[in-house]
Each structure stands twice: as structure tokens, then as C-alpha cells.
Chain A
Amino acid sequence: MDKIKKVYSDEKIYKKLLEDNNLTIEDALENEMVINMGPQHPATHGVLRLVLRLDGETVIKVVPELGYLHRGYEKMAEDMSFIEFIPHTDRLDYTATMCNNVAYVLAVEKLAGVEAPPRAQWIRMIIAELSRIAAHMIAIGTFAMDVGAVTMVMWTFRERERIQEIFDRIAGARFTTSYTRIGGVASDIDDEALKMIKHFLDTFEPGLKDMDDLMLHNRIFIERLEGIGVLTKEDAISLGVTGPNLRASGVEYDVRRAKPYLFYNQVDFKVPTYSEGDSLARYFLRGDEVRESVKILYQCLEKIPNGEVLANDPKKVLPHKTEIYTKMEELIHDFMIINHGINPPVGDTFFSAENPKGELGFYIVSNGTGYPWKMKIRSPSFCNLQAISKICEGAMISDVIAIIGSLDPVMGEADK
């Protein structure tokens, strides 16, 4: 036993082990069982660890443990200029990188008082909605795979792959896009990319219908999820759940509608809601959101104007590379911004945007220098995960997998 004591320095676990050594068969049948699920588990979407207390197959209590992917971005942000942090936003929710880029620069722009030109804002809407489709494709696909429908994940990844190709064309990278800049976007979208988006949208709708046919005529899938993991409206609000999970519980709250940013007040879209609040509703809702995103994208392609993609604000916005090489003034501004930062005024702002997972917020405190004094990332996955213990109580152990899939957490974001 001393050997065990050395390995498990934790007093509690040691005591538990001593108890376990004296187990008889009767105890094993009668007692409750504690099961550790994760952090290395294919169905937990990353490194989420759940400690389950079971009575037979029924879950009595769930304790989620986070922090296996904690990289300390909030600490790192305090030692970086506002521009330097843009690539790190890719690594938050790595399924929807563009959405994070957009949310972050909008937060900094709100603090610094910069406004991007209209074309840049429309481009941001386009990439954010494309990214939302890509993220929901992963959510739908892996969710279906978690409950046993492996074909679905192939189909959704096929569609997602085409979005990645568009991102490759627009930003030069498939996943780590880092495409937005403070005051605009890195480069203009060319006609070829717009044509690719148009082609994608035209051929995407039939694909969606195929997916619906595959899943919704499948009795096993429906019966597996109906009424599983019900999250009531009151609980959802009280637990701070946002995004598709909140709307599946019957609350019509979408940041794009409640506090319109970019040009979301100029496009026509619905905010789909379901009142059931179960896993199936959360699955349906993501499908509906994808359709709304397609609708928004068509309108964006129609309405996108010509013009500049970077604001003309020499003290806050980096100038074009060609101008830096040819003009003295621009060279000086570039030097100042890179070395001293954009120096937003003293104050603090909170900005939140609607991400595929929920409401991504940035609370930035500035003390007037080029580095943020504090940056808090309010990540939607973190808040949505908090609902797990509430939802899972009383469920069967196999339903826990379905519930995690339906909540769709991304640990890169939950752990920051």
C-alpha cells in the first residue's frame, strides 16, 4: 500500500483505494460506482474530463473537470500588443476561426474607436457566416457519429472541405486564417473567391437535403435523441447558456438580432427557436441555422459594395505594405504602431458577437498603452459546459455521450 500512497499523493484517492481493497462481491453490486470519462475519450470532443457517479446505468452526479488544454491566453494577451493577439484567436474555437477573428477585432475597434470601411464589414459578414456553416457542419457530423451514424460525418466534412478551400483562396490558410485586421481585413476578396462562394451556396442546398433525408428518416436516430437531455428555459437562462443551445430551449436570443453588429440589421434572416430543449431540438436548430446563414450569404453577395478594405486612420490602422515601402509617412506610422501599439484610450469595454457555439465576448481593460491591461475572454463553450451536470442528472450513461455531442463544446475555447 505504501507504493500506492506514493503514486496517489492525494489523500482522498488514497482513502478510496483502501476502501476498494476491502470490497466484497455484495458491495460491488449494491454500491454506487464512480467512473472517470476522459480526458482522452473520442466522444468528449477534445480533452474534457467527466467524473460520473452511477447507480447501475443511471447517472446520479456529473462533475466536469476542465483545464487540460489551458494555455493561458488571457495572461499572454497582457504581454502582447492588440495586433499580435489576432493569430491567437484562431486557436480559441478552432472549428470557426474566422468568427473569432471577427469578434476580436470588433472588440478592439469598439475600444479604440475605429470603424472599418463598408466593404470590409461585408467581407467580415461573409467569412463569419461561412465559418458558422463550417462549424455547424462539424457539430452536426460529429454529433451524428457519436450516436452511431458514421456516414453523416463523411458528408458534412465533404461540405466543410469546400469552405476550407474558399478560406484558402481568401486568407491563404485553411484553418489558421488570422484574416481580419484592426480597421479592416488583410486583403480584398477577388472575383474568383466570390464565384467560389456562389458556386458553393448553389450546390450546398441539395447536399443539405440529402443529409436531412439520411438522418430524419432514420428511426434509430430520432428515438435515440428525442426527449434526451432536456434543458428547460429557466435553467438555460440561469446557467448562462447561449447560442444554439439556448435557442433550442425556447429563448429567442441571438446577438446578431439583439445587438446588431456589422450589417446584420440590413439583412433579412430568421432566428430559429425550438421549445423542446432536448438533444434532437439542438440538432435540428443547427441545421436551421445553416439554412439562415445561406440566406444571409446570398444577400451579402448581392449587397457587397466596392471600395477600400482598410480604414484610413494612420494612428490606429496599419497601412498597406506597398505604401510602407514607397512613402515616408506610412513607414513612420507602421514603425510606431508595430513598436508602440495602437494605444486605445483609458477605459474598459465589453463586446460580444454571436459565434457558432454561442456568445463570444471580449472584456478589454486599457490603460492607454499599446498592451491591454487585462483581457477576459468570455467563451461560450465554457458557459455551455456548465449545464452538463444539470442535464445529465438522471440520464443513462450512454445518453451522456449524446448530450455532450448536442451541446457541442470545443475545448480550445472552454480552456482558453
Chain B
Amino acid sequence: MDIKDLVLQTLKENFTDSIIEITDFRNDLSITVKQEKLFELAKFLKENENLLFEMCKDVTAIDWATRKNRFTVVYHLYSFKLNFNLRLKSNLETEPYQIQSVTPIWQSANWYERETYDMYGIEFINHPDLRRMYMPEGFEYHPLRKDFPVLGIPESLPLPQKPE
């Protein structure tokens, strides 16, 4: 059986209601899931014996700026058993933008989620250490949001004061 069919069929058997959309662009399978079901589905993907998506390669987000669902959180998973890349997406609908952290499932998501929090201001619930990844601690903005100018905001990064 084709790997894509296997993944889709296994998911559909268990999570019919939570899958919103399935796309297959340039041979990249992508599944959009309901925000509240994402953690459960991710756990299933990792632990199901036929799938075993053991590695989380990447977590990031997309800022759609003008759309109703402003942010989409994107996960890239990899299964050594199937040699297959899967993309999970979840739209964040209401403010405050929050989603369940997948760090308890994949340790690697720890830093990816910190980076996403830093860049987009999306809060990951149950994350063990949600600090900024790149920007300094006192920074007020989230640089990869579309309303942040490319040239930066003047004086948003204060220089350390010189001791007297």
C-alpha cells in the first residue's frame, strides 16, 4: 500500500472529526487539524506502531496578516520506519494565540517552540521553559509578525548602560 494512503487511512480511522483539510502539493502531504486535537493526534502519530513518527524536524508558524485565522502553526514530522515526511498544521482562531506544546512528545520541539514564541508571540501551553530564543529578554515585539517593519523599530533594543 502507498505510504500516503496508509498514513491517511490510519488517521481517518481514529480522528475523522478532527481533520479539517488534506493537501498534497509537490508530493508533500499536509494535514490541517483542529487546534484542540493537535496534541492527541501528534501523540498518536508517534506511538502508533504502523506509523512511528519519531522525529520532529521543525516547528514554526505562518502569519497570514489579514486572514480570519491569523496564525497557522506548522509541524514537520519524520518517520524512520516509513521514510516519510508529514506536515501537520493547525490554525489558531482566537486571541490569545495559544496551542498545546508538543515538547512532552518530542524533546526536540523545545527549542523550536521557543523560537516560534520569540518570533510570533504564540504561547505554547505546558512548555517547560518558554523563554525567548534569539531576541533579548526585555524585547517587547515579535519580529516575524507581518506588522513588524523589516528595518526594525528604533530604540526597541536598548544598549546596556555604561557604569558610572
Contacts and interface: CB of A to CB of B under 8 A. Distances in A.
Interface stretch (A66-74, A84-92, A176-184): A66-74
A238 B119 contact: no
Contacts of A67: 132-136
Contacts of B57: 240, 352, 359, 361, 378
A349 interface: yes
A23 interface: no
A415 B87 CA distance: 24
B158 to A, nearest CB: 9
Interface string A342-358: 00000111101000000
Contacts of B110: 386
B69 interface: no
A76 B150 contact: yes
Contact of B83 (A238, A258, A383): A258
B150 A361 contact: no
A198 B126 CA distance: 56
Given A70-B134, A361-B76, A348 B108 contact: no
B103 to A, nearest CB: 11
A94 interface: no
Interface string B153-164: 000000011011
B15 interface: no
B28 A6 contact: no
Nearest to B46: A238
B135 to A, nearest CB: 7
B54 A237 contact: yes
Given A75-B144, A350-B85, A365-B62, A237 B80 contact: yes
Contacts of B54: 237-238
B110 to A, nearest CB: 7
Residue from A72, A76, A111 with most neighbouring chain B CB atoms (10 Å): A72
Contacts of B132: 67
A66 B58 contact: no
A240 B56 contact: yes
A6 B80 contact: no
B65 to A, nearest CB: 9
B96 to A, nearest CB: 21
B135 A239 contact: no
Nearest to A68: B134
A374 B61 CA distance: 9
Given A240-B57, A365-B62, A350 B150 contact: no
Nearest to B160: A7
Contacts of B119: 74
Interface residues of B, number: 40
Contacts of B44: none
Interface residues on A, range: 35 or more
B30 interface: yes
A7 B80 CA distance: 51
A383 B163 CA distance: 37
B21 to A, nearest CB: 13
Contact of B164 (A3, A259, A349): A3
B123 interface: no
A373 B61 CA distance: 12
A55 interface: no
A365 B148 CA distance: 19
A376 interface: yes
Residue from B28, B63, B119, B136 with most neighbouring chain A CB atoms (10 Å): B28
Contacts of B83: 258-259
Interface in A291-325: none
A239 B60 contact: no
A284 interface: no
A63 to B, nearest CB: 9
B133 A66 contact: yes
A264 B107 CA distance: 31
Nearest to A4: B163
A42 interface: no
Interface of B: 23, 25-26, 28, 30, 54-58, 60, 62-63, 74, 76, 80, 83, 85, 87, 106-108, 110-112, 119, 132-137, 143-144, 148, 150, 160-161, 163-164
Given A239-B108, A240-B107, A349-B25, 4 more contacts: A110-B26, A239-B107, A359-B57, A363-B60
14 contacts: A7-B160, A7-B161, A75-B148, A238-B55, A240-B112, A258-B83, A259-B83, A347-B23, A348-B25, A350-B76, A350-B87, A352-B57, A365-B62, A373-B62
Question: Which 7 A/B pairs are nearest by Cβ-Cβ distance?
Answer: A240-B108, A67-B134, A347-B25, A70-B134, A376-B60, A378-B58, A238-B107
